[in-house]
Amino acid sequence: MTSKKLSIIGIVTLLTFTTGVMADDEQVIKFAISADYYSKYIWRGQVFDNKSVLQPAISASAYGITFSIWGNMNLTDRSKIVPDNAGEFSEFDWTLDYTAAVPGVENLNFSLGTIYYRFPNQIYHPTTEVYGGLSVSAPLSPFIKLYHDVDEINGSYVQFGIGHTFEKIYTVSDICYCGLQLGTSVGWGSAGYNHGYFGADNSKLNDLTLSAGLPFCLGSTTLRPSINYSTMLADDIHQATDKSDNIWFGIGLSTSF
């Protein structure tokens, strides 16, 4: 099945689901919108844009199902990856996700979904990943997620991570406060994944990513400054990437209703 067909199926599913939800007066669809500025666009340790980007997103969710659209807009003409492209989008991602508690297992959640990637104004072909993951509602919030490309890249990527949020480290009022978010993740690529992205022929660890954020909440609106670091772990993948060690910062604004 092609990625376009998978995307259409996802949209049709969302429309059908939304119709059913709106007919039920007791169930409310939750919406969220966000816009994030980053000094670089780094994805799984790879530099997709080495200059400033804007990444808006919108989502709708109910009954554990979330449909979201995310985009990456280049803000300058000085990017090595997509030069002369200021003010234009270089990527759109459509995601359909289902997340729920694992029946009969306390504090264990699972997620299943698909992501359709499209790259306007670039040479990359659209592709689709399916994924599944587990997360634990416990100290450090450990999680594992497996992504498998069913289109352009014949391989899989696995992400392991932990993180912790320190709630209300500074409080102005009940609806106005600041927290601290810390997280780290390690990525592993299969032989097919590493060959498709880096020309490497063996499965091995890919990237290590560290992040720290200082979300400031005002009711349902959150301002999210952050700083991030990533490095490629395997020597041949490290050498195959344009810039293997990156530090970047960001600031985002999000709200839900």
Asked whether the whole model's pTM tops 0.75, one would answer yes
Q: To which H or E segment does residue 242 belong?
A: none
For residue 67, give every residue at least 6 positions away whose Cβ sits within 8 Å of its Cβ, in sequence order, or none. Answer: 10, 11, 14, 59, 60, 61, 94, 95, 96, 97
User: What pLDDT, on a 0 to 100 scale, did the predictor assign at position 18?
Assistant: 47
Burial group, residue 237, by CB count within 10 angstroms (0-12, 13-18, 19+): buried
Q: Which residues of the chain register pLDDT less than 70? A: 1-27, 81
pLDDT value at position 14?
Answer: 47
Ranges assigned E (strand) in the chain = 30-38, 41-43, 46-49, 53-62, 65-74, 89-101, 108-118, 127-136, 143-149, 156-173, 176-189, 204-213, 216-218, 221-232, 245-256
Domains of the chain: 3-256 (2.40.160.40)
